Amino acid sequence: MRIKALKKSCETRQLDAYLITDLKNIYYFTGFLDIAGAALRLLVPRDGSATLFVPPLSYEAARATAGNCLVEAVPKGVKPVTHLCRELTARHLDVVGFDDLPLAQYLQLTADGTSSSIRHWPRLVADLRRVKDAQEVELMKQAAALTDAGARAGMEWVRAGVREYEVAAEIEYAMRRRGSEGAAFETVVASGPRSAHPHGVASDRVIMRGDAVVLDLGAVYRGYRSDITRTVFVGEPSPQQAAVLQVVMEAHDDAFHAMRGGVEARVVDERARRIFAAKGLDQYFIHGLGHGVGLDIHEAPTLSPDSVDVLAAGNVVTDEPGLYLPGFGVRIEDTVLIHAESGEKLTRTEYVTG
Ligand SMILES: [Mn+2]
Which pLDDT belongs to residue 38? Answer: 74
Backbone angles phi, psi at 3, to 5 degrees: -65, -40
Q: Do the Cβ atoms of 129 and 294 come closer than 8 Å? A: yes
Mean pLDDT of 5-26: 96
Gap from CA of 318 to ligand 1 centroid (Å): 6
pLDDT band at residue 132 using 50, 70 and 90 as cut-offs: very high
In angstroms, rounded to a whole number, what is the distance separating the alpha carbons of residues 229 and 186? 13
Model confidence at 253: pLDDT above 90: yes
Average pLDDT over residues 325-333: 96
pLDDT class of 113 with cuts at 50, 70, 90: low
CA of 320 to the centre of ligand 1 (A): 7
User: Residue range 268-275: average pLDDT?
Assistant: 98
CA of 234 to the centre of ligand 1 (A): 23
Mean pLDDT of 104-119: 81
Q: What is the mean pLDDT of residues 38-50?
A: 92
Burial class (CB in 10 A: 0-12, 13-18, 19+), 65: middle
Q: Which residue has the higher pLDDT, 57 or 143?
A: 143
Specify whether the CB–CB gap between 291 and 299 falls below 8 A. Answer: yes
Provide the pLDDT for residue 34.
77
Task: For residue 218, report the distance from its CA to the centre of ligand 1, in Å.
Answer: 9
When pLDDT is averaged across residues 149-163 and rounded to a whole number, the result is 98
Ligand 1 mean position, distance from CA 293 (Å): 8
Give residue 216 CA to ligand 1 midpoint distance, Å. 8
**DSSP for 131-197, written as a single string:** S--HHHHHHHHHHHHHHHHHHHHHHHH--TT-BHHHHHHHHHHHHHTTT--SBSSPPEEEEGGGGGS
Answer whether residue 354 shows pLDDT above 60. Answer: no
**Cβ proximity of 347 and 335 under 8 Å:** yes
**Cβ atoms of residues 307 and 288 within 8 Å:** yes
The rounded percent of the chain whose pLDDT value lies above 70 is 98
Identify the pLDDT of residue 112.
66
* C-alpha of residue 162 to centroid of ligand 1, in Å: 25
Mean pLDDT score, 136-151: 98
Distance in Å, CA 189 to ligand 1 centroid: 14
Ligand 1 centre distance from Cα of residue 119 (Å): 31
**Residue 319 to residues 55, 150, 228, 331, Cα–Cα distance (Å):** 41, 18, 9, 10
Rounded to an integer, the average pLDDT of 3-17 is 96
What does each C-alpha distance from 345 to 19, 161, 349, 353 come to in angstroms?
A: 35, 33, 10, 19
Per-residue model confidence (pLDDT) at position 116: 81
Confidence check: pLDDT of 312 > 80: yes
Percent of the chain clearing pLDDT 90 (strictly above)? 87
State residue 352's pLDDT score: 82
User: How far, in Å, is the centroid of ligand 1 from the Cα of 291?
Assistant: 7
DSSP designation for 205:
P
- What average pLDDT does the segment 94-102 reach? 94
The rounded Å distance from CA 30 to ligand 1 centre is 27
| Mean of pLDDT values over 172-187 | 98
Query: What separation in Å is there between the alpha carbon of 83 and the centre of ligand 1?
Result: 39
Q: Residue 56 C-alpha to ligand 1 middle, in angstroms? A: 38
Q: How many residues does the chain have?
A: 354
Distance 297 CA to ligand 1 centre (A): 7
Q: Which of 52, 47, 56 is nearest to 21 (CA)?
A: 52
pTM of the model: 0.94
- Output the CA 299–ligand 1 centroid distance in Å: 11
- Host H or E run for residue 106: helix 103-108
Q: 101, 110 in Cβ contact below 8 A? A: no
What is the tens place of the pLDDT at every residue in 200-216? 899 999 999 999 999 99
pLDDT of residue 11: 95
